[in-house]
Amino acid sequence: MPLDDEARRILRLNDKGSYTVPTAGLYPYQWNWDSAFAALGFASFDVGRAWVELETLFSGQWANGMVPHILFHRDDPGYFPGPGIWGTEGVAGKGEGRVASSGISQPPVAASLAWRIYGCDPALGLPRLRALFPRLMAFHRWFVAARAESGAVATTHPWETGRDNSPDWDAPLAANDPVGVAPYTRRDTGHVNARMRPTKEDYDRYIWLVQFGRARGWDDAAIAVESPFRMADPTLTFILLRACRDLGAAADVLGEDRAEIDGWIAHLEAGAETLWNPETGAYDSRNLRTGALSGSVSNASFLCWWAGLTDPRPIPTLRRILGAAPFAVPSFDPEHPKFDTLRYWRGPVWAVMNTMIGLGMEEQGLGPQAARIKADTARLISENGFAEYFDPVNGTPAGGGTFTWTAAVWLAWASPSAGEG
């Protein structure tokens, strides 16, 4: 079908040989979770290329197990903040890794998507999965040790959650005065409409947190104790929980011991419960400095089923949100005063989140709701193109265009020709 052809064209367009950029201009490097989704998209027509994508991502893994949120393979002056700002060269945790990178991670969806890609061609995939397995273990081990002290997975920077400017982070960011931020020039607003991007107040605080981590040599223990920003996050928690289940399945196939993985699963399941907010009827983020829940109903709230939780409690809230948004799933509650149809993670629909939400709901017996989410995603893409994200009220495409992960999940899930259900 023509849209499948267009999606493959976009993946090839953004393919730099061994890794894929999210979109030219706005995001000219390799991003962690974007790349894992790119691999899933490639797997629908070139399984070998899919494995190369994951292998390149893990070539940037730090000695301590962390897989950075951005790998700066080739310098590009059109992006800020680039490698010079992160200052990760020579930091202890990084070890001898030669790929320039940021100092934080991103939602660890890699094991889940590696497991799916293995399923596309087990004969080809078995040696690749075997080679990647210890690296995936090290990545998860790092996340649990460095971030999961409360059971749920905490973040030290909004960018680590993948939901950069979600209202979840407003209170802890506002509580921190970004004193001493060195002068900088944003590049993102030179590529797309500023109305669709985070505000300057938010941006100053993002850069302040980068400087804070850099000043501590990206030392996880120091940052965990000293940073004013430590938020337990449903995106990271649910995605890691699911990734541990998938890594456990991989361990079974590879004949590896899975006791450590089972320990992580139990730890994260208990942690997930600390994110339940009875007042909103949804999973929420929690400020580990104050103990306060954010009061947010976001699209991350509905990743609970992707995480494998059999939990009916969020269903009434899910119904309310589906009823309030012409296009599902809005990244923030349409009935909340902070809802903003175009501003990034404060309202717009993101196709990758829909994919995980929809697949998880299908597995947990929420078939009709999952079908609605898939149909909305397919309509948004077929009527408005492969945009970075979409207005949940009228479908307006927003952010960057010719976007890799939107094309990838079209091929893997939303297209009528996709293998999944």
Q: Which residues bind ligand GLC (CB under 6 A)?
A: 22, 27, 31, 33-34, 162, 164
Q: CA angle at residue 398 from 397 to 404, to 5 degrees?
A: 85
Tokens representing 26 are 């706005």
Determine contact, residues 320/311, Cβ cutoff 8 Å: no
Catalytic residue, candidates 53, 284, 388, 391:
388
Q: Say whether the peptide bond before residue 278 is cis (omega within 30 degrees of 0).
A: no
CB 244 within 8 A of CB 112: no
Burial 247-284 (b: 16+ CB within 10 A, else e): bbbbbeeeebebebbeebbebbbebbebbbbeebbbbb
Among residues 164 and 362, whose Cβ is nearest to ligand GLC? 164
- Distance from C-alpha of 120 to C-alpha of 419, rounded to nearest angstrom: 9
Least separation in angstroms between residue 248's CB and ligand GLC is 26
* Shortest spacing between CB 118 and ligand GLC, in angstroms: 23
The Cα–Cα gap between 66 and 82 comes to: 19
* Strands ordered across the beta sheet of 231-232: 154-155, 231-232, 286-287
Amino acid identity at 353? M
The nearer residue to ligand GLC, 317 or 404, going by C-beta atoms, is 404
Q: Is 164 a catalytic residue?
A: yes
Q: Give whichever of 33 and 212 is closer to ligand GLC, judged by the CB atom.
A: 33
Least distance in angstroms from the C-beta of 70 to ligand GLC: 8
Backbone angles phi, psi at 420, to 5 degrees: -75, 130
Nearer to ligand GLC, 38 or 132 (CB): 38
CB of residue 357 to ligand GLC, shortest distance in Å = 15
Least distance CB 31 / ligand GLC (angstroms): 4
Kindly tell me which of 22 and 151 has the beta carbon lying closer to ligand GLC. Answer: 22
| Active-site position among 160, 164, 202, 333 | 164
Active-site annotation holds for 388: yes
Contact assessment for residue 225 and residue 144, using Cβ atoms and an 8 Å cutoff: no
Contact, 303 vs 238, CB < 8 A?
A: yes
Residue 330 contacts by C-beta under 8 Å, 6 or more apart in sequence? 299, 321, 324, 339, 347, 348, 349, 392
Q: Which residues of 46-64 are buried (b: 16+ CB within 10 A; e: fewer)?
A: bbebbbbbbbbbbbbbbeb
Cβ 317 to ligand GLC shortest distance, Å: 23
CB closer to ligand GLC out of 20 and 44: 20
Q: Which residue has the tokens 């990271």?
A: 236
Smallest distance, ligand GLC to C-beta of residue 37, A: 9
Nearer Cβ to ligand GLC (37/208) = 37
> Which residues are identified as catalytic?
164, 388
